[in-house]
């Protein structure tokens, strides 16, 4: 089965998808999506009617391109060397995709993103900047995200400490109308403040100001991105109403939702190297939109192709192909083994605009098939609540609650409902408890490095090879704004392994702008977030262990790989 740019090899699931499409046609679902009919997903409008602005974002943002360019001119004339975006989840992921896939044009400032509370990562970025020639973008839809506020306070005070430098002139704010950050920006007289459409949710905001302002600062042709997206959106709408057939987004969404209902809920994304970062954006869009009410589609990213025998019957494979990457032999082998396959044609990097809209539509349609609201995130707050409670208690008591490990072995401690004489033995027993269609989530609260990345890649390969289950890897707290919703909202088959370690050094978080007073450090906040998510997962009955290294975490993970 083919549609424009997509081929579907669904095997025995083809008839189920055909039935789902027939039901959607009879219910006039496609037209009702464009009409903003909340009944497509739920009987009440809350959390839906005020989240449909993404449908019109390509056209609406295109109308503002001239204003965007004029507003950013002071930063694209060579006066600024670096732009640093402070954001989390939907506020940063689209910018990261544009930066990694397209990057800064000649003559435009270097661009980087900070979406972490890891003190080593923050220090590494800060030390390399000429603060007098740096612009910071504070991007937060709600204006109240804890990590973004902490980063804002840190860098604002860092610049304010420079004699003769007006700190407020080095900041730009992107937030929603009515957010507390908007009011603070006015009080600080920050000259560059952008108010985004509040009817667009974070993970659906790539084609709005949230994604386009950072892209424009890189020198990316946002006109081409938006034109590409508008063409796809227009074709989607035309297909919906022409009566000639279903749109590409409708077909893709129907396939994803139907396959998930039949247990094929591990969406394994195979992308050319140059498109790998697009997978990170897709991961949040799909996982946070579908992981709720005991359901969910889990994206599997950056997993090397393995022998077919290593894959369980919970997989769906999506191959993004171009002239240099056809993947034909791998597709044939997987299809012969009975795995559903989707092939998606991609062209140059400006296809990103169209792909983003296509997948937004497909995710909304898949959620309809699954009977869930794709625009809310009911379980994200649980970790935030635990984090806030712990931080407030610390500020009052000046001490963290001391946790006792289940057992300790040399320089490593293990926390959780596990047993064993060694860490490796405990891990093996933990993994052996996996149920059918299980997955493993590696939650990494370590300072990123090539050594850590390599050790994690080896560990995920060892787990999949030994137990035949999918493994995801996410750095904290970043993953809390991406897959964190799914971890707590899906069917509960996940096994979570949290990695923590001692901080080599730390950084104070200023309590307020312009004051050196600090009652919390970034290292303490990161540790609190790790423990808070462990507690939130336990509240949901999830299986989780924490492995804490006092010294060399990379060597410790490599040792686990050898023993597995």
**For the chain, which residues make up each domain, given as ranges?**
2-28+239-370, 77-218, 380-563
Q: Cα–Cα distance between 514 and 537 in angstroms, integer? A: 37
Q: Cα–Cα distance between 361 and 345 in angstroms, integer? A: 17
Please tell me the number of Cα atoms within 13 Å of 212 on its side-chain side.
32
Write the DSSP string, 19-61: HHHHHHHHTTHHHHHHTT-GGGT-SS-TTTGGG-GGGGHHHHH
The residues pairing with 408 across neighbouring beta strands, listed in sequence order, are: 413
In three-state secondary structure terms, 109 is coil
pLDDT at 402: 84
Helices (H), ranges, 92-179? 93-101, 119-127, 146-160
Query: For residue 402, what are the contacts with CB-CB under 8 A and spacing of at least 6?
Result: none
Question: Which overall architecture, per CATH, does domain 77-218 show?
Answer: 3-Layer(aba) Sandwich (3.40)
Q: Cα–Cα distance between 284 and 286 in angstroms, integer? A: 6
Query: For residue 400, what are the contacts with CB-CB under 8 A and spacing of at least 6?
Result: 390, 394, 524, 527, 528
φ, ψ of residue 200 to 5 degrees: the values are: -120, 120
Q: Measure Cα distances from 191 to 166, 168, 188, 375 in Å.
A: 11, 8, 9, 32
Q: Are 176 and 196 in contact (CB under 8 A)?
A: yes
pLDDT at 2: 45
- Bin 294: left if φ > 0, else alpha if -120 < ψ < 50, else beta: left
C-alpha of 391 from chain center: 25
Pick 2-28+239-370's CATH classification: 1.25.40.80, 3.30.565.10, 3.40.50.10490, 2.40.50.140.
3.40.50.10490
Q: Which segments within 218-262 are labelled E, that is strand?
A: none
Is 380-563 in the same CATH topology as 77-218? Answer: yes
- Average pLDDT across each block of 10 residues of the chain; the chain has 564 residues. List them in order: 74 95 92 95 96 97 95 92 97 98 96 97 97 97 94 97 92 93 93 94 97 97 97 86 74 97 98 96 98 98 92 96 88 95 95 97 98 96 92 86 89 92 93 93 97 97 94 97 97 97 94 93 96 96 96 95 92
Q: Which residues of 377-408 are buried (b: 16+ CB within 10 A; e: fewer)?
A: bebbebbbebbeebbeebeeeeeeeeeeebbe
Q: What is the CATH number of domain 380-563?
A: 3.40.50.10490
């Amino acid at each position: 089965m083919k549609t424009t740019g997509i081929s579907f090899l669904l095997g025995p699931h083809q008839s189920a998808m055909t039935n789902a499409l027939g039901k959607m046609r009879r219910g006039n679902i496609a037209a009702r999506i464009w009409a903003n009919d909340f009944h497509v997903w739920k009987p009440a409008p809350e959390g839906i009617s005020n989240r449909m602005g993404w449908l019109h974002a390509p056209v609406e943002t295109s109308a503002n391109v001239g204003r965007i360019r004029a507003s950013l001119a002071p930063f694209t004339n060579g006066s600024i060397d670096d732009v640093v975006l402070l954001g989390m989840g939907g506020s940063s992921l689209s910018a990261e995709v544009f930066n990694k896939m397209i990057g800064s044009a000649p003559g435009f400032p270097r661009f980087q993103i900070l979406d972490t509370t890891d003190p080593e990562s923050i220090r590494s970025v800060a030390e390399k900047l000429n603060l007098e020639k740096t612009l910071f973008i504070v991007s937060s839809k709600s204006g109240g995200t804890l990590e973004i506020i902490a980063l804002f306070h840190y860098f604002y005070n860092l610049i304010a400490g420079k004699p003769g430098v007006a700190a407020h002139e080095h900041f730009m704010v992107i937030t929603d109308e009515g957010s507390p950050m908007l009011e603070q920006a006015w009080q600080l007289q920050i000259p560059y403040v952008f108010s985004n459409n509040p009817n667009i949710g974070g993970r659906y905001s790539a084609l709005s100001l949230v994604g386009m302002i950072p892209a424009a600062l890189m020198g990316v042709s946002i006109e081409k991105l938006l034109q590409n997206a508008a063409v796809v959106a227009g074709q989607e709408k035309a297909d919906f109403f022409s009566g000639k057939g279903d749109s590409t987004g409708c077909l893709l969404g129907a396939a994803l939702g139907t396959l998930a209902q039949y247990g094929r809920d591990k969406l394994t994304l195979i992308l050319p190297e140059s498109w790998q970062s697009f997978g990170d954006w897709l991961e949040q869009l799909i996982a946070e939109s579908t992981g709720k009410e005991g359901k969910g589609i889990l994206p599997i990213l950056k997993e090397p192709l393995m022998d077919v025998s290593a894959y369980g019957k919970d997989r769906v494979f999506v191959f993004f192909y171009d002239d240099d990457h056809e993947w034909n032999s791998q597709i044939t082998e997987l299809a012969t083994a009975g795995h559903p396959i989707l092939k998606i044609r991609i062209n140059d990097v400006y296809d990103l605009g169209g792909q983003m809209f296509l997948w937004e539509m497909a995710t909304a349609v898949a959620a309809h098939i699954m009977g869930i609201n794709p625009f809310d995130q009911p379980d994200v707050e649980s970790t935030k609540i635990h984090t806030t409670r712990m931080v407030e208690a610390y500020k009052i008591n000046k001490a963290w609650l001391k946790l006792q490990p289940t057992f300790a072995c040399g320089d490593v401690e293990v926390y959780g409902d596990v047993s064993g004489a060694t860490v490796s033995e405990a891990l093996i027993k933990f993994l052996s408890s996996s149920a059918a269609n299980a997955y493993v989530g590696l939650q990494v609260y370590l300072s990123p490095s090539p050594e850590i990345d390599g050790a994690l890649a080896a560990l995920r390969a060892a787990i999949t090879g030994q137990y035949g289950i999918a493994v995801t890897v996410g750095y904290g707290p970043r993953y809390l704004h991406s897959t964190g919703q799914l971890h707590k909202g899906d069917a509960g088959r996940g096994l979570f392994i949290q990695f923590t370690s001692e901080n080599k050094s730390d950084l104070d978080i200023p309590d307020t702008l312009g004051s050196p007073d600090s009652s919390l450090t970034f290292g303490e906040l990161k540790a609190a977030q790790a423990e808070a998510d462990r507690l939130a997962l336990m509240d949901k009955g999830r299986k989780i262990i924490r492995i804490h290294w006092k010294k060399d975490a990379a060597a410790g993970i490599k040792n686990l790989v050898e023993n597995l």
